[in-house]
Structure 1
Amino acid sequence: MQRRRHAGLRTAAELGLAHWFFGNLYEEVVRVPARIAEQRPTGGPFAPGSPVRYYIPAAPVTLATTLACVATGWHRRADRPALTAAALLTASGAALTGHLVRSVNLRLLDGAGRPVDPAERQRLVERWHRVNRIRLVAVGAAAVALRACGRTGRR
């Protein structure tokens, strides 16, 4: 029973991590922060076009299922390194996301505040891309680590 519950949690966590990874990969490829900055949106982080709107529903589920997967799989000694890596990488991805939201996204999305001059806007967009690439590695590696759980027959 516990093995099935762990497998279900792992699947849910992997789906959440895939949503997170491919959403950020899409934003990277089509340069979403630059598009948002060019539009000069108003209305803050929940304005139309804001990425927050499609991450808010999935973020808590992804974090919760990943941590629950770690907790339910911890009894398997052979899986502990992969579970530890998955937990740390997921937490790193969440921390990087928090940093980006606070230091870049809110500034680009807040049309009510002090206007962003073109040079600052360019610096913010470049910072977003640098940090996002690190986040992509962390989230992708977390999914790979979760996938590695249960591969061995040892307990």
Structure 2
Amino acid sequence: MKSQIDALRQLTHELLYLGMDGEPIYADRLYLLNSEVYSQAEALHGEKTGNDDEEAALCVTLLKAYSATIYNHGDKEEKVQEILDRSGKVLGKISDSLLKCQLLVACYGETFDEELAQEAHQIMNGWGDSLTTEQQNISDELQNVENDSYLHANTEL
């Protein structure tokens, strides 16, 4: 299961950052990545995991994968809600960690529930000043989602 989660995480990252390196984006590569990410997400969606950390990693990966893809066979929102429900169950079981923070941020990106962002900030506050690359990445991601949340809230008025 871990290798499948890691493979989907890698593909999703590639899709999300396609073209960010200055290379041109080719339609066939975009199509292929979207198709493969969606297909792998669909295959992993109903899978059972072996432990809480694996469940959290799967939920983070699936939320990002579904968010990154342009495809929807009419049930994407329902599947995302199922993943959010699974995430809610596992969040209370895992210790404060980078993984928990990643799951909080992924869920916050879908729901804009401020309590999730606050809990992520509490975990980050315990990291100190010298952040690892992964810690910096999730901190930046939370900031971006919070900025999007602010814009989202102001455009709904």
The TM-score bracket by the shorter chain reads: 0.3 to 0.5
Q: TM-score, normalised by structure 2?
A: 0.34
Larger Rg: 1
Relative to total residues, which structure has the larger helix share, 1 or 2? 1
TM-score where L is the length of structure 1:
0.35
Give the structure, 1 or 2, with the largest relative contact order (CA under 8 Å, sep 6 or more).
Answer: 1
